[in-house]
Amino acid sequence: MKNEKASPWKSLRTGLLVLLALIIFAYGFEITDIDLDQLRSEQRQQSLQRVTRALARPDIFEFEQEEQKAMAPVYVPCPADGSTPEIPAPDMSGAYVTVTPACAEPGQDVTVEGFNFFPNASGPVRFVPGSDPANVVELGNLEAQTDAQGHFTATLKLPRRESEDQQFIRATMRQNIGIPRFTETAKITWDKIVETVFLALLATTLGTLLAIPLSFIAARNLMKSVRSPLASIALSIIGWPIGIAIGYFIVSRIGQIASAITSLPINLASVMLAPGIAWFVFRWAMPQEELKVPSLGVRVARLLALFVAVLVSLFWLFQLAQLTGSLSLSIRDSLGPAGFLATFLFQVSNILRVTTPAIGALVTGGALSSLLARMGQQATERGTLASVKVINLLLAAAAGATVFGLLGLLVEWLYQIGRPQYTLWGPIIVGALLGLGLAIFTRAKDTLPIGLVMYTITRTILNTLRSVEAVIMAIVFVIAVGIGPFAGVLALGLHTIVSLAKLYSEQVESIAAGPLEAIQATGANRLQTIIYAVIPQIVPPYISYTMYRWDINVRMSTIIGIVGGGGIGFVLIQNINLLNYRAASAQMIAIAIVVSMMDYISSVMREKFV
């Protein structure tokens, strides 16, 4: 290191930096309202004391209580003529209280003594304003505690409630009897904490299932080698929307046909027969091993057969939904306490009914896209340079127009501009021109690094979504599906997808390359390489991350209720707003117990799997 001489310039710079830091912190103090006087103010300290004491006594157990009440008259102030008021002698057969002196000015202390109460009991000793002894209003916050003989002495400060009439001081001593039982708060807390844990479980499951395929697309080492010729990329882009439209149309039609068949025997028969038929067709269309390349006719026949198998499977899904739906309705009442199983079946049938068209549309989109991509690949391999160039120009223009047209439609839907020249024709022309440009500057048979493009896009989307907190996502979902745990599941699920996909993909990127190379060398295609070389290597970290994420989700689901996402957070924030700190304390303890238990369980399970 060089030993530099101290120069005035350097000292000045240091001084300026220190000054700057001071200014920054001063401004920070200013805008964060740091004010220690708040801590010292008596009112604050009293509130803090009250809340802390309430928090220290969580509302979990309660006793059956019996109470004894006794009261003694008192005059505030003393009569104007200076006489001492007549106080009748108390009934000494039961519990009684005496007040000395029997009259005093407001703000003065009087001594209250109690006799014949329960031993070791406690309760309030309060001033009862007005002359009605049955008045339930009590003033003050004095508490007294009886000794073993049932006697107490307390000093009460008389409030400013002046009256010429007799007023009272009432002592209410309470004693716990029997064994403790759970309070209503404890029961609600238990219900909600169960809801919280399951909310986290469902969100984790949903998130994991969708994060796994995403993580492969977001892994650089897998995507780097994916290259395709331009015609193939363009065709696969065009294939997606067309395939989704066709798929949605076909699946909805099948759905209509299938839901028209409501008779139970036919339902049963089709649910049992359809998988067999689909399996049989599938086996024929997908021979396990082939040494020779099949002829074009055979391949087309197989494609058609596969199509039929898919149609049959879809029909089966709809019929299954139908069957479980009617089954669950008929058995719900006879199940008694296990009725939630029937409800679950019913929900599953609903989920099947709702998701099948969407899944069918996506699968058709993917299938059409990959089929077209394959055709584009073959056309590029076989065509002459000139013809490939022409195909590239046409297809790239069409693909660019499709992408930009769809983006334009999205903009139109979001902002309702209502001018097709800006949101439809404009983007289509721009997209087509960009596509043409790409095709002009790409050599006809060159391959483009589509894998890296997909990787970049996926990573960008994941990073953007990951920076949105789950609580904020919950606000959106609460609007979409209403207040309740379902919104919480969706919000946490989405957040789980994006964060797990990132963590998973980093694991994929760090796997050993050797097995990958070896499996590729056997002639395996990309899917097979993933299944036989990638997945076995990533199972332990995936399990570990999933457990970790469940742990996080339990923690998150405790607060997601604050914005209406269900779970224990909802009652917690309610109780805090109602200043019901004892109940809030019970819920905080429940959260602490569950979170630390999850912590422990997940660490034990991770150790086991890894």
Partner 1 sequence: MLQVKNLTKIYDGGVRALDNVSFDVPKGQFLAVIGLSGSGKSTLLRCINRLIDPTAGQILWNGEDITAATPEEIRRIRRRIGMVFQHFNLVHRSRVITNVLAGRLGYVSPAWSFFNRFPKEDMEKAIRQLERVGIADKANQRADELSGGQQQRVGIARALMQDPQMILADEPVASLDPVLAHSIMKHLEEINKNDGVTVLCSLHFLDLVHRYADRVIALNQGKLVFEGLPKEIDDQKFKDIYGRDAERVG
Query: Minimum distance between the CB of residue 543 and partner 1, rounded to whole angstroms?
Result: 12
Q: Which of 48, 272, 273, 539 binds partner 1 (CB under 8 A)?
A: 539
- Rg for the chain, CA atoms, rounded: 38
Please select the residue that binds partner 1; options are 115, 249, 307, 532, rule is CB under 8 A.
532
Tell me how far apart the alpha carbons of residues 114 and 188 are, in angstroms, rounded to a whole number. 39
Q: Which stretch binds partner 1 (CB under 8 A): 282-290, 420-428, 544-552, 593-601?
A: 282-290
Separation CA 66–CA 580 (nearest Å): 24
The reply to whether 289 sits near partner 1 by the rule CB under 8 A is yes
Nearer CB in complex with partner 1: 346/532: 532
The verdict on 531 binding partner 1 (CB under 8 A) reads yes
140 interacts with partner 1 by CB under 8 A: no
Among 537, 574, 580, 603, binds partner 1 (CB under 8 A): 537
Q: Which of 8, 82, 265, 287 binds partner 1 (CB under 8 A)?
A: 287
CB atoms within 10 A of CB 159: 15
What does the alpha-carbon distance between residue 459 and residue 133 come to, in Å, rounded to a whole number?
A: 75
CB of 10 to partner 1, least distance (A): 42
> Which span (241-249, 264-272, 510-518, 559-567) binds partner 1, by CB under 8 A?
510-518
Stretch that binds partner 1, among 289-297, 386-394, 486-494, 547-555 (CB under 8 A): 289-297
Which CA distances in Å does 374 have to 239, 308, 369, 379, 491?
Answer: 11, 21, 9, 9, 37
Interacting span for partner 1 (CB under 8 A) from 81-89, 131-139, 270-278, 520-528? 520-528
Burial of 51 (0-12, 13-18, 19+ CB in 10 A): middle
Give 10's contacts (C-beta < 8 A, 6+ positions apart). Answer: 4
Calpha distance 454→460 (Å, rounded): 10
- Taking CB under 8 A as the binding criterion, the range among 266-274, 476-484, 532-540, 564-572 that sits at the site for partner 1 is 532-540
Verify binding: residue 521, partner 1, rule CB under 8 A.
yes
Start-to-end CA span in the chain (Å): 46
Using the Cα atoms of residue 432, residue 437, residue 443 and residue 446 in order, give the sign of their dihedral. negative
Distance between CA atoms of 320 and 342, rounded to whole angstroms? 15
Residues found in the chain: 610
Q: How far is the CB of 428 from partner 1 (least distance, A)?
A: 33
By CB under 8 A, tell whether 125 contacts partner 1. no
Is residue 274 at the binding interface for partner 1, with CB under 8 A as the rule?
Answer: no
Helix (H, G, I), strand (E, B) or coil at 223: helix
Q: Considering the rule CB under 8 A, would residue 514 count as an interface residue with partner 1?
A: yes
- Candidate ranges 119-127, 140-148, 528-536, 553-561; the one touching partner 1 (CB under 8 A): 528-536
Per-residue b/e over 100-115, b at no fewer than 16 CB within 10 Å?
A: eebbbeeeeebebbbb
Which of 370, 520, 580, 603 contacts partner 1 by CB under 8 A?
Answer: 520
Q: How far apart are CA 487 and CA 440, in angstroms?
A: 48
Q: Contact with partner 1 (CB under 8 A): which of 286, 390, 480, 610?
A: 286
Q: Would you call 144 helix, strand, or coil by DSSP?
A: strand
- The helix-helix angle for 485-509 and 184-217 (nearest 10°) equals 40
Binding residues for partner 1 restricted to 378-407, rule: CB under 8 A: 381
Cis omega (within 30 of 0) for bond into 77? yes
Q: What is the DSSP annotation of 192-209?
A: HHHHHHHHHHHHHHHHHH
Considering only 33, 42, 290, 333, the residue that binds partner 1 (CB under 8 A) is: 290
Closest separation between CB of residue 343 and partner 1, Å? 32
Compute the half-sphere exposure of residue 170: CA atoms within 13 Å on the CB side of its CA.
Answer: 20
Residues 341-380, interacting with partner 1 (CB under 8 A): 377
Give least dist CB 531 to partner 1, A: 6
Q: Any contact of residue 522 with partner 1 (CB under 8 A)?
A: yes
State which of residues 148, 179, 291, 296 lies at the interface with partner 1 (CB under 8 A): 291
Question: Binding segment for partner 1 among 281-289, 316-324, 488-496, 591-599 (CB under 8 A)?
Answer: 281-289
Nearer to partner 1, 297 or 523 (CB): 523
Task: Quote the CA–CA distance of 181 and 193 in Å, as a whole number.
Answer: 19
Compare residues 304 and 417 and give the one whose CB is closer to partner 1: 304
Number of residues that bind partner 1 (CB under 8 A): 29
Q: Which of 418, 514 has the CB closer to partner 1?
A: 514
Minimum CB separation of residue 378 from partner 1 in Å reads 8
Residue 147 contacts partner 1 per CB under 8 A: no
265: contact with partner 1 by CB under 8 A = no
Compute the distance between CA of residue 404 and CA of residue 212 in angstroms, rounded to an integer: 29
Beta carbons of 363 and 247 less than 8 angstroms apart: yes
- 226, two tokens: 């994916």
Of positions 519, 562, 573, 576, contacts partner 1 by CB under 8 A: 519
Residues of this chain that bind partner 1 (CB under 8 A): 286-291, 293, 377, 381, 514-515, 517-525, 527-528, 531-533, 536-537, 539-540
